[in-house]
Amino acid sequence: MNGSGCDLLCISPHTDDAEIALGGTLRLLADQGRQVWACDLTAGELASNADPQTRWQEATVASEILGLTGRVQLALPDGWIDAGAPPQVDAVVAILRMLRPRWVVTAPAAHRHPDHLATPPLVRRAVFLARLPALEVVAPAARWWPAPPDRQPTAAWITPVVGETCPDGTEPDLLIDVSSTWDAKQRALACYRSQFQREPGRVPTAINDPAFLAEVGARAGRWGRRAGCSHAEALCLQAVPVVTDLPDGRWA
């Protein structure tokens, strides 16, 4: 798309969510020269283990492993993501107008955690409002890795493709073969030691139970079997592709 600033922007409530759901996809696209960004809506200040600074440091190392062009962390309230809160929507609108993505996807799948449930509708609203020049927003409080983009936000931005991580038990619109980048995804997840390792002194949680990462792998294996490969990640999209010829990629 003319004027776009990045190919794909993955928006998640917390650091590590993008890696859990779409780490293989992010690295796959980066390996093909795509401009890939991650946006974490919160600093994860309510986490049972580790403070926000520790989690941010883990996220920057994971971002390097995945080959991200950049990462931005907003300061929305952890545990209180709300699509009905104008300041939160405005913050995402500002990021969309700064990064100007061709694709926006949310991760992880909307399940259990209230922030995970609230993120897709928040992003859908922001994507719609970002196209309206009458809505004026200012750059939100944020920290950037490795640095903010070297461009000014547009007065409006239309994102052509919007999607979200496909939950178990639903029909995907897109399966992405991440067999070649599965090792990179695992190395990125290993960066989040504070969240996924149940070490002495840490509070036991659902995600530092070894069964959690085992299920991440099992899910990718299930999608992979559907796709005819070892590991895959799945997206549900708000629109269907429009083609002028038969696509070259294989169909599941």
pLDDT tens column, 32-44 = 999 999 999 999 9
In a domain, 251, yes or no: no
What's the structural domain count of the chain? 1
Domain presence at residue 133:
yes
CATH number at residue 34: 3.40.50.10320
Q: Is residue 168 part of a domain?
A: yes
| Residue 53, C-beta contacts closer than 8 angstroms, at least 6 positions apart | none
| 43 and 52 Cβ atoms separated by less than 8 Å | yes
The pLDDT assigned to 153 comes to: 86
Residue 92 domain boundaries: 6-237
Q: Which residues of 159-191 are buried (b: 16+ CB within 10 A; e: fewer)?
A: bebbbbbbeeeeebebbbbbeebbebbbbbbbb
- Whether 183 maps to a domain, the answer reads yes
pLDDT value for 58: 98
Residue 1: per-residue pLDDT = 45
Among residues 11, 9, 10, 7, the alpha carbon closest in space to that of 34 is found at: 7
Residue 156 in any domain: the answer is yes
The string of pLDDT tens digits covering residues 105-145 is: 999 988 889 999 999 999 999 999 999 999 999 999 999 99
Q: Which regions in the chain score pLDDT beneath 50? A: 1
In a domain, residue 250? The reply is no
- Give the global pTM: 0.96
Is position 11 within any domain? yes
Is 242 domain-assigned? Answer: no
